[in-house]
Structure 1
Amino acid sequence: MTCTVTVLPAGRKLSAQPGENLLTLLRSANLAPEAPCGGNGKCGKCTVLIGGKPVLACGYTVSGDVTVHVTEAKTHARILTDGYGAEVELQPLRDGAMAAFDIGTTTVVCYLLEAGTGHLLAAASAVNPQQSYGADVISRIQRALAGEMEAQTRLIREQMGSLLGDACRQAGVLPETVGVISVVGNPCMQQLFLGIMPENLAKIPFAPVLTKAEVGEAGDIFPCCPHAALVTVPDISGYVGADTVGCVLASGLDREEKRTLLVDIGTNGEMVLGNRERMIACATAAGPALEGAKIRFGMRGEPGAIDHAALVGNTLSLSVIGGGEAAGICGSGLIDIAAVLLDAGVVNARGRLAEPGTALPLGDRIFETEGQRCFRLTDSVYLTQDDIRQLQMAKGAIASGIELMAAQLGGGVETIERVLLAGAFGSFIRPESACRIGLLPPQLLDCIQAIGNAAGSGARRVACSRAELQRAQTIADRAEFLELAALPEFQRTFAQSMRFCP
C-alpha cells in the first residue's frame, strides 16, 4: 500500500510507504522544516501541523494518507556579505568573470567578480539548505554516514547554482563567461559539496582529506559554467578548514608582526593565534547555541530576533531586528542579555539565576516553569536556565581555546596585541558584552576589530590570483593544529572558562 502525503502550502503530493518517517520523506523532497538536532527529537523545532495539531516531523510515522502543513522557511536572515582585506594583483587561472563561494554551516554566500579587474559586481546569499539535517556538522556527518550524503550534496549544489545565477542576473553577466569558481568552507561542508563521504571526520584522528589546493572543471557541478576552473582551497585539519585559511588570507595574519588572535565565532568556533613567525590553529566545540540552536527561543539573525539588550537604569531595553514584536533571540542578543543579567546581579558567576521575586533590578522577571528558572524578556519570549548553560558551554569552549593557544605560543592572553572577529556573528556582537561574560578576555577589549566575512574575502582573493592560491597552500601547511582535548589541562581550563566574569 502506498500513502499520499499532501504538503501545504507547497501543494505537493508525496508518495510514502507505511512506516516511513515524515522528516526523512520531507527531506527527500526538499520540503523539510529546520531540525537543528538532526532529527533526534531533542530541539522541538521540526514542528509541523497535522489535523491542526502540532507534531514533530522527526517523530511521526506515516501510516495512511495525510495532509501536513509545513511552516515556510524564513528567507530574510541577516547574512553578512561585506568582506575585508587589501587589493590583490589580478592573476586568474582562466579568463572571464570570477565567482567565489563561502559555504558556511548556517549560510552560503556567492560573490561575482568582474573580468579584468576583480571588482565586486554582485553578491547573493541564502540559508544553507542542509539545516534539516542538523544545525551542526556532527549531525550532518551522522546523517551522511546513515545514507543521506547524496541528498545533502544535491541540496548544497542546487543552492550554490541558484545563487550564482542570481548574482549573474544582478550584474548582467552570462554564466558561461565565468572562468574561475573558488570555494571555501569547513571540511565537512567542502566534502559534502564535492560528494566526498565525511567518514574521516567521524573517527580519530579526524584527518583532513583536502590538504592540497585542487583545480578541476566546474562544469561537472555547475553546467551553466562549462569553461570555468573549480578551485578548492585546502584545509588545515579535520575541523579547521578552508574557510579559516580564507580568513587568514584576507586578514594578513600570516604577514603580521604583532601577535594576533583571529576568531570566527560560529557553530564550530575556529581560531588562529600567531603572526608571520608562527601560527597555531584550533577548533572549539562551541556548538550551535550562538547561532540560535539549542536555545528555547533561539533563532537566526532575522526579523523578529532580539539582537541587542541593555540595562538602562533598572529597566531592560531590547532591540528587535525589523522593529516588530520579538519572536526569539539570536546569538548577539543572547550575549547581550547574559551581560545584562550579570550587571543586574540576577545571574551569578556560576550562571545560576536568582530565585523568583528576588529584590534585585529585573528580579521581578524571574519565574519558574517546567522545573527550571526562567527570565522573562517579553510576554511570549523568555530565557531558560538551560539556555544559560548552553551559552556557558559555548563561551567556555572559545575562552579555553584562547587561553590554551596563548600558553602554547608562550605567555598568557595578555601577550595578544590584536583581536580580529570574523564572520557575521563577530560583526554583530558588542565586544563589551563578549568581554563582560568572558567569551573574550576582558583585558583585550580595546584591541578588538570586526573584519566581516573574511572567509568570503579570502575566497575572492583565490579566485582572482594564482599567487593567492599558492599563499593559501602555504598557510595550510604552516599552521600548527592544536588538539585541545588532547591537552592534559583542557578539562580543568574548560570548566574554569565556563564561569562568567564576576
Structure 2
Amino acid sequence: MSAADSLHVRAADETRELPLAPADLAAANTSMLTDFLAKRGLALNTRCGGRGLCSGCLVEIERAGGKHEQARACRMPLAEAVGAAAENAVISIPSRSLLKQQPSVVDDFRVNIPMARDPLVAGARYGAAVDVGTTTVAVIVCDFENGKVLARASAFNAQIRFGEDVLTRIQHCCTNGAPAVRELQHALMAETIQPLIEKACARAGIAKGDVGAIAIAGNTTMQHLAADVDPAPLGAHPFTPAFLEHRVYSAEALGLAWRGLPVHLLPGLSSYVGADLTAGLIATGLIYEDGPSLLVDVGTNGEIIAKTGDRIVGCATAAGPAFEGAGLSCGMRAARGAIERVRMSVNADGVFEMRLDVIGSGESSAPLKPIGMCGSAYIDFLWEARRAGLLMPNGRFAPREKLPAGVCVEVDEHGKKFRIHEHGASGPLWISEMDVVKLLQAKAAIGAGICTLLDVLGIKARDIKRLYLAGGFGMHLSLEHAIGCGLLPGFAPEQIEVVGNTSLGGAYLAINDKSLLDEMEAARKRFEAVELNLHPNFEDAYIDNLSLE
C-alpha cells in the first residue's frame, strides 16, 4: 500500500497505517483530521467543539529530516494530512490528546432516604438508572425485587466530540439545526447509553431484554437532546426550555434498541438547573429537611441549590470545564496517569518539597510517568502553593527572590510557569499563571454562586446545617483545600457531607419507587431560579472570590 493511500499514525507508542477510502479522499478538503481519526477509534480531545480554541487535539507532524511541527487536528483538513503522508510523514498523537483513556467516573452514590418497592413498571424484574453528564455517563442495573444494584458501567459522553460544554453543543444546534440535534441524540442514546446498559446487563448476567424500565437524569440541555428536542432557546435570553416536566418515551422513539420499553426523563428545575439536581434533592433527603441546607454539584456546569423552610432557590454558575482539565497546560480528566493529589511543604532548611499522587501508580512495580493533572490536583495546588509561598493572593507567582529554595519557576513568551513534574510521559509538566487565572475564575464562579444564594435567603455559611457535595469531582476533593482556596467559602469540614453521584442515586430511587416522581414534580413547581447576572451583589462576590486570601 503506497503512502498516498494511507496515513501513518503513531499513538500509544504504536505506529499504524490507516487506509484512506475513496470517500475520505473525496471529502479531504472539507473534512478535518479529527473526523478521520475518530472514525478509526482515535478520538481526540476536541474540547472546544473543533473550533481551534484549545490545545486538546494537538498532534505532531514528524517529517523527513527530523523536522517536527505541531498542529490542531480539528483545524487541519484531511487533505493536508494526505499531503504529509505522501512525503512519508508520521502523525504522532501525544497521550494527553487521546480520548481513549479510561474515565474515572463516579457511579457510586449515597442515598439518605428509605424507598418503597413500587417500581416504575409493575411486574418488571430489572431496571436501569442513567446519569447523563456533559462529560460522562454512568449506568446501573438493579433488581426491583430487592433494590440491589447488580452492575455498573460508565464512559465518556460521546457528544464530547461536538464540544466540551453544553454551550458549545447548543451552538452546534443553533448553527446546524435539526440534523445537529439528531446527531447529538444519536451520540448520547445509541453510542453511549445503549452500549453502557448492554455492558451492565452482561456484567449482571441478565439479558438486555429483561430490563423493564429506564430512568434518565441529566442537565436540561442533555434532557432536551435525549428527547431530540432542539436546545437552541437555552442559548439565548430569556433561556426558555422547551420542557422541564417529567416525560415518558418509548425506547425506540429515542433511538434505543428496545421495543415498547418505557424511558422516563426525570423533571428539571430550570434552564440551567436540571434533572440531575432534582434527583439530588431526593437522594440526599434535602427536599425533606427544614434546613438551611445546600446541594453543590461542582462539575462542568456548577449547579447549586439552597433550601430553608419551604423555600428552594438555585442557580447555575459558569464555572466552565477547567476542573475537568480543559484549557490548562497539562490538564486532563481523572484517568490513569493523571496527578490527583499535590502536597507541598518547606522543610527546616528552607528547601521546597513536593509529593504527588498519580492515578494508577500502584498497579505495577514500574514507576508511572504522569500524563497531566486532573481537577482535584489543581484545587490542591491552589491552596498548597499559596501556603508554601509560591502564589501570592492575586494568583501570581511570587518574585524569584521570595520563592523557596528548590522551586522551579521559569518565564516563557506567555509569562511565568511552575514545573510540577520534571519527567512526565510527554516531557516536563507545567502550571502557568494563565492556568491559575482560569482556575481562580472557575472557583470564584462557584464561590460567588454560593454566596449569592445565601444572600438571597439572608443567611451566612456558618448557618448552613449541611452542605451536600455531589458529583465525581467532589468525591475526590480535599475538603481542607476546597475550603482553603475559596471554592467552598466560609464553611467548615464538619458541615460538609460528600454524597457522590446523587443524579444517579435519584434516578435509581425513581425506578424503584415511582411515588418519588410526584415528589420531584412538586419540587420543580416550588423551585425559584436565581439569575446571577441580575443579582446586584453577584459581581462583587465574584471579584472577592477571585482572591486566594
Q: Normalising TM by the smaller chain, what interval?
A: over 0.9
Asked if residue 55 in structure 1 is aligned to residue 55 in structure 2, the reply is no
- Pick aligned residue for 1:340 from 364, 384, 391: 384
Identify the range of structure 1 (98-107 vs 219-228) with the bigger mean alpha-carbon deviation. 219-228
Asked if residue 156 in structure 1 is aligned to residue 182 in structure 2, the reply is no
Q: Helix, strand or coil for the counterpart of 1:38?
A: coil
> Per-residue CA shift, 1:35-55, capped at 9, x if unaligned?
112222221111235555542
Per-residue deviation at 1:97? Answer: 0.9
Asked if residue 423 in structure 1 is aligned to residue 466 in structure 2, the reply is no
Unaligned runs of at least 5 residues, structure 2: 10-15, 64-68, 86-90, 362-367, 423-427
Q: Helix, strand or coil for the counterpart of 1:352?
A: coil
Asked if residue 438 in structure 1 is aligned to residue 492 in structure 2, the reply is no
- Pick aligned residue for 1:322 from 360, 364, 367: 360
Per-residue deviation at 1:446? Answer: 2.3
Normalization by structure 2: what TM-score?
0.86
Q: Is the CA contact 1:109–1:126 (under 8 Å) kept in the aligned structure 2?
A: yes
Q: Helix, strand or coil for the counterpart of 2:515?
A: helix
Identify the range of structure 1 (3-12 vs 190-199) with the bigger mean alpha-carbon deviation. 3-12
- Pick aligned residue for 2:99 from 64, 67, 73: 73
- Pick aligned residue for 1:285 from 318, 323, 326: 318
Mapped to 2, the partners of 1:359 and 1:5 lie a distance apart of 54
Change (3 A) 1:266 1:4: farther
Q: How does 1:296-311 map to 2 (within 5 A)?
A: 296-311=329-344
- Pick aligned residue for 2:30 from 5, 11, 20: 20
Which position in structure 2 is the counterpart of 1:118? 147
Identify the range of structure 1 (286-295 vs 303-312) with the bigger mean alpha-carbon deviation. 303-312
The amino acid across from 1:20 in the alignment is: T
Which position in structure 1 is the counterpart of 2:505? 457
> Per-residue CA shift, 1:234-289, capped at 9, x if unaligned?
11111110011111110011101231111000111001111452111100010100
Which position in structure 2 is the counterpart of 1:42? 53
Per-residue deviation at 1:69? Answer: 6.1
Identify the range of structure 1 (426-435 vs 58-67) with the bigger mean alpha-carbon deviation. 58-67
Aligned residues: CA RMSD: 2.2
Mapped to 2, the partners of 1:22 and 1:344 lie a distance apart of 45
Which position in structure 2 is the counterpart of 1:214? 247
Identify the range of structure 1 (445-454 vs 424-433) with the bigger mean alpha-carbon deviation. 445-454
Normalization by structure 1: what TM-score?
0.94
Which position in structure 1 is the counterpart of 2:88? none
Which position in structure 2 is the counterpart of 1:88? 115
- Pick aligned residue for 1:368 from 411, 435, 438: 411
Q: Is the CA contact 2:56–2:327 (under 8 Å) kept in the aligned structure 1?
A: no
Identify the range of structure 1 (231-240 vs 30-39) with the bigger mean alpha-carbon deviation. 30-39
Q: Helix, strand or coil for the counterpart of 1:207?
A: coil
Change (3 A) 1:109 1:69: same
Mapped to 1, the partners of 2:98 and 2:458 lie a distance apart of 51
Q: Helix, strand or coil for the counterpart of 1:451?
A: strand
Q: How does 1:176-191 map to 2 (within 5 A)?
A: 176-191=209-224
Mapped to 2, the partners of 1:282 and 1:462 lie a distance apart of 24
Change (3 A) 1:362 1:232: farther
Q: Helix, strand or coil for the counterpart of 1:377?
A: strand
Mapped to 2, the partners of 1:171 and 1:180 lie a distance apart of 16
Change (3 A) 1:223 1:316: closer
Which position in structure 1 is the counterpart of 2:455? 407
Identify the range of structure 1 (112-121 vs 180-189) with the bigger mean alpha-carbon deviation. 112-121
Change (3 A) 1:443 1:63: closer
Change (3 A) 1:10 1:182: farther
Which position in structure 1 is the counterpart of 2:280? 247
Q: Is the CA contact 1:255–1:276 (under 8 Å) kept in the aligned structure 2?
A: no
Identify the range of structure 1 (12-21 vs 197-206) with the bigger mean alpha-carbon deviation. 12-21
Q: How does 1:378-393 map to 2 (within 5 A)?
A: 378-379=421-422, 380-393=428-441
The amino acid across from 1:450 in the alignment is: V
Counting matched residue pairs gives 498
Per-residue deviation at 1:5? Answer: 6.8
Q: Helix, strand or coil for the counterpart of 1:299?
A: coil
Q: Is the CA contact 2:472–2:500 (under 8 Å) kept in the aligned structure 1?
A: yes
The amino acid across from 1:433 in the alignment is: H
The amino acid across from 1:153 in the alignment is: Q
